[in-house]
Amino acid sequence: MDRSRNGRSAVTPTPAGVAGDSLAASQRARQRAFCIAALPEGEDLGELGELLRTAGVAVVGEMVQRRELAHPNTYLGPGKVQEAKAAAQACDANVIACDDELSARQERNLEEALGLPVVDRTTVILDIFASHAGSAEGKLQVELAQLEYNLARMRGLWSHLERLGGGIGTRGPGETQIETDRRLARDRIAALRRRLEHVKGTRAVQRAERERAALPTIALVGYTNAGKSTLLNALTGSEVGVRDRLFHTLDPTTRTLRLNGRPYLLTDTVGFISKLPHQLIDAFAATLEETRRAELLAHVLDASAPEAHAAIMKSSVEQTLEEIGAGERPRLLILNKIDLLDSEAREELRLRHPDAVLVSGVSGEGLQELGERIELELLHTLRRVELLIPYADGGSLAELHELAGDVTREDTAEGVLVRAMVPARLAERFARFALQTR
Ligand SMILES: Nc1nc2c(ncn2[C@@H]2O[C@H](COP(=O)(O)OP(=O)(O)OP(=O)(O)O)[C@@H](O)[C@H]2O)c(=O)[nH]1
Ligand SMILES: [Mg+2]
């Protein structure tokens, strides 16, 4: 059994079995999930499949019951549970994956009725976060979220693990949790919180450094896999990791973006998803702080997604932004991946979202316009200054060039007369050179 804490699971990491892949491949995968969902008319199960694929689990079958509300005891109605049992057996599934967060009671009842371990959407997402977390802070945050989730549900994680035989739902809380009781779990949670406080201190220092630079900041936000990291790379010439999988980026990365020679800070953040477990929102509060502080939120949307799905993605992002207290920040909508659309589809998008910018992070289309829009949206953070800098003070002049990009200068007897637009928060730094208004 693979119980390595944050290592990848031993499951064959192929997208096997996800819609249309070969049966042979899905049989090779150690974990074969049968997906169940209680969904209102019109919604589909596509995303749970994507999540499982990202977690390295094959999907061998699915069953959707059309209902507005899940059954309080068994999630699906009792008759449907029996049907699901037969169907899961028929396709030789060894785990049941559920599209919603289950209550402890629903989970227990379902496991009993189906005779298979049951993982819910939250567990799958936490599991993906656990395997993608790279930084010390990210790992602590995910472990904390997993422990709290399991503790709140009084889940006997260990018995769960025995039956599951490694793989999904096994990473995170780690060895200690397996033979421990709830008191020990609480101690561990307290210790994790203390360590996180410490790590956050370091982040605060880094942030203070950036704030001294006082450059206007743009945060790229959006649904996971929308292309945020791709855009960061395309705009800043960086090489941040890009993958066609969910939640590839967990740690925020900030790079300098130059537009007309003027520097801005561009931050790539963790992607959102619909029904994002609130434990994760809490755990990632510090990370999301970057989003709350940005002068502009660049909301990246995958414009190549089917309209219904795009609408769900867009509203989940907006809802999450509200939840983290960033709902009021100025927004710029970016419709990405337009290289995948024909001209008719683009025209339709333009009509539907007249304020949005259409771009492709891959082909580079629209990036010029995006840069111009960002400049325009952030114009209000700049202030016009007129300064007289003595010839002896070459340092200040150089700094001004660096920060303001476009600077007009005129040599006079007393020094250099400079006119520039600088970030408002920096204007004080040059106040001593300000020309008296006559
Ligand atoms: N065709 C096309 N593919 C794109 C474009 N932008 C990104 N992609 C692809 O979409 C996938 C996801 O891109 P990322 O940049 O990793 O997306 P992300 O929003 O950072 O995702 P997370 O970090 O997981 O939240 C990758 O396979 C990219 O190559 C685009 O403009 N056109
Ligand atoms: Mg990313």
Summarised one tens digit per residue, pLDDT across range 289-314 is 778 889 999 999 999 998 888 998 99
Q: What angle do CA 393, 397, 403 make, to 5 degrees?
A: 145
pLDDT band at 29 (very low <50, low <70, confident <90, very high): low
Q: Decide: 26 in ligand 1 pocket, CB within 6 A.
A: no
Mean pLDDT check: name the lowest of 23-37, 212-226, 348-362: 23-37
pLDDT band at 158 (very low <50, low <70, confident <90, very high): very low
Q: Decide: 360 in ligand 1 pocket, CB within 6 A.
A: yes
Q: Decide: 243 in ligand 1 pocket, CB within 6 A.
A: yes
Q: Decide: 272 in ligand 1 pocket, CB within 6 A.
A: no
Whose alpha carbon is nearest atom 32 of ligand 1?
Answer: 337
User: Which of 159, 235, 150 is CA-nearest to residue 186?
Assistant: 150
Whose alpha carbon is nearest atom 30 of ligand 1?
Answer: 337
Q: In what order do the strands lie in the sheet with 382-389?
A: 382-389, 416-423, 407-411
Mean pLDDT check: name the lowest of 155-169, 175-189, 205-219, 333-347: 155-169
Percent of the chain exceeding pLDDT 70 equals 83
User: What pLDDT is attached to residue 21?
Assistant: 43
Q: Decide: 366 in ligand 1 pocket, CB within 6 A.
A: no
57 CA from centroid of ligand 1 (Å) = 21
17 CA from centroid of ligand 2 (Å) = 25
Q: In what order do the strands lie in the sheet with 118-120?
A: 58-66, 32-39, 95-98, 118-120
Say which ligand is closest to the CA of 253.
2
Mean pLDDT of 134-153: 82
Greatest mean pLDDT among 155-164, 239-248, 277-286, 413-422 lies in: 413-422
pLDDT of 219 above 80: yes
Three-class DSSP category at 263: strand
359 CA: nearest ligand 1 atom:
31
Q: 213: how many CB neighbours lie within 10 A of its CB?
A: 14
Rounded CA separation 346/369 (Å): 15
Greater confidence (344 vs 274) lies with 344
Q: Which of 50, 51, 225, 249 to mutate to test the pocket of ligand 1 (most atoms within 8 A of CB)?
A: 225
222 CA: nearest ligand 1 atom:
19
Helices (H) and strands (E) in the chain, counts: 17, 13
User: What pLDDT is attached to residue 22?
Assistant: 45
The predicted-structure confidence for 83-140, as pLDDT tens digits, reads as follows 999 999 999 999 999 999 999 899 999 999 999 999 999 999 988 888 888 778 888 8
340 CA: nearest ligand 1 atom:
1
pLDDT band at 246 (very low <50, low <70, confident <90, very high): confident
For residue 257, list its beta bridge partners: 264
183 CA from centroid of ligand 1 (Å) = 42
Percent of the chain exceeding pLDDT 90 equals 41
212 CA from centroid of ligand 2 (Å) = 27
* 240 alpha-carbon distance from chain centroid: 14
Say which ligand is closest to the CA of 224.
1
User: Which of 301, 350, 349 is CA-nearest to residue 321?
Assistant: 301
Whether residue 172 contacts residue 149, with contact meaning beta carbons closer than 8 Å, is answered with no
Whether residue 304 contacts residue 295, with contact meaning beta carbons closer than 8 Å, is answered with no
Q: Decide: 271 in ligand 1 pocket, CB within 6 A.
A: yes
User: What pLDDT is attached to residue 380?
Assistant: 92
Whether residue 75 contacts residue 36, with contact meaning beta carbons closer than 8 Å, is answered with yes
366 CA from centroid of ligand 2 (Å) = 20
The single residue listed with the structure tokens 């949307």 is: 301
Rounded CA separation 28/60 (Å): 11
Query: In 295-356, which ranges are E strands?
Result: 296-302, 331-336
DSSP 113: H
Amino acid letter, 109: N
User: What pLDDT is attached to residue 431?
Assistant: 87
User: What pLDDT is attached to residue 212?
Assistant: 61
Length of the chain: 438
250 CA: nearest ligand 1 atom:
23
Q: Decide: 242 in ligand 1 pocket, CB within 6 A.
A: yes
Whose alpha carbon is nearest atom 17 of ligand 1?
Answer: 227
Whose alpha carbon is nearest atom 7 of ligand 1?
Answer: 227
Whose alpha carbon is nearest atom 8 of ligand 1?
Answer: 227
For residue 221, list its beta bridge partners: 299
User: What pLDDT is attached to residue 144?
Assistant: 87
Give the chain's mean pLDDT.
82
pLDDT of 19 above 70: no
Q: Decide: 54 in ligand 1 pocket, CB within 6 A.
A: no
pLDDT band at 61 (very low <50, low <70, confident <90, very high): very high
The predicted-structure confidence for 336-393, as pLDDT tens digits, reads as follows 999 999 999 999 999 999 999 999 999 999 999 999 999 999 999 999 999 999 988 8
252 CA from centroid of ligand 2 (Å) = 9
Q: Decide: 178 in ligand 1 pocket, CB within 6 A.
A: no
344, with CB counted inside 10 A (0-12, 13-18, 19+), is exposed
Say which ligand is closest to the CA of 50.
1
208, with CB counted inside 10 A (0-12, 13-18, 19+), is exposed
Rounded CA separation 74/157 (Å): 20
Domain annotation for the chain: domains and CATH numbers: 23-178 (3.40.50.11060), 215-377 (3.40.50.300), 381-433 (3.30.70.240)
Rounded CA separation 109/112 (Å): 5
Rounded CA separation 283/238 (Å): 27
User: What pLDDT is attached to residue 171?
Assistant: 46
Say which ligand is closest to the CA of 298.
1
pLDDT of 51 above 80: yes
Q: Decide: 230 in ligand 1 pocket, CB within 6 A.
A: yes
Q: Decide: 235 in ligand 1 pocket, CB within 6 A.
A: no
The single residue listed with the structure tokens 């090489």 is: 239
Please, which residues have CB within 8 angstroms of residue 148's CB and are 6 or more apart in sequence?
189, 279
Whether residue 243 contacts residue 194, with contact meaning beta carbons closer than 8 Å, is answered with no
Say which ligand is closest to the CA of 223.
1
Q: Decide: 226 in ligand 1 pocket, CB within 6 A.
A: yes
